[in-house]
Structure 1
């Protein structure tokens, strides 16, 4: 067995601060799921939606002009983790959708993912979400 076929699997891709980056990030994750044997996984659509929301948030709130964001997707056989790294400040939080017309992105991520959170980096932050994979009992 060669090294590429061994777990964990990981793909990283940097995206520019451009609206076309969101569908490109979603396509990368869909490709990775297929390539890693998770193409028919029933949670694949949830993962794609969360990638769209996290990438959109990075573009709108986290990536200053002239910068972009890093998408990292990792699968260890049990958990699929999606991370979006940006150089912006602030602490993302789930908004009250009954009060706020916009800002439903993290609300959706919190509802669809098994876990999510925010970590610090210098500069900026990483917003992540995790999904228990098929081998992990999902």
Structure 2
């Protein structure tokens, strides 16, 4: 069985919370509870990057979730230029750890050029309840 769901969000800080809720609600509907908090955190990080760095003014970003063959894939697509660049922030820095955290938590992570914009994605292989 293959399941897919997506939702668009405006370029607004509140969209980070809304996209995390969308991901959590979808996981619950699909019966995926293992690693749920990690998936929600990774989705939040990509949504925050889209809002802060990727989405041009007046545009939206899209969160797409796919579940099939035991793999959960979450993509965040925006129309902004350039791929996200992982950084190693100083210990006292209050930001800049999102992509590092995502790479540590997810089973796989990457960025795909979409011609106009890009999709940052990650995968998990959780068990269904």
**Per-residue deviation at 1:109?**
0.4
Deviation at 1:80, TM superposition (A): 0.4
* Offset from partner CA, 1:81-112 (integer Å, 9 cap, x none): 01000001112122113478221110110010
- C-alpha distance in 2 between matches for 1:57 and 1:13: 17
After superposing the two structures, state which structure 1 stretch, 87-96 or 8-17, moved more.
87-96
Rg comparison, structure with higher value: 1
Per-residue CA deviations over 1:1-58 (Å, capped at 9, x if unaligned) read xxxxxx21111100000111111111111111111111x32x0000000011000000
Q: Select which of 82, 104, 110 maps to 2:103.
A: 110
Which ranges of structure 1 fall in alignment gaps of 5 or more residues? 1-6
Q: What is the TM-score when the length of structure 2 is the normalising length?
A: 0.92
What is aligned with 2:84? Answer: 92
Distance in structure 2 (CA, Å) of the matches to 1:98 and 1:64: 28
Q: Which residue does the alignment assign to 2:71?
A: 79
**For the Cα contact (< 8 Å) 1:77–1:133, is it kept in 2?**
no
The 1:129–1:100 alpha-carbon spacing in structure 2 relative to 1, beyond 3 Å, is: farther
**Deviation at residue 134 of structure 1 after TM alignment:** 1.3
Q: Is the alpha carbon distance of 1:46 and 1:17 closer, same or farther for their aligned partners in structure 2, counting shifts above 3 Å?
A: same
Q: Given the two structures, how large is their TM-score scaled by the length of structure 1?
A: 0.87
> Number of matched residues?
127
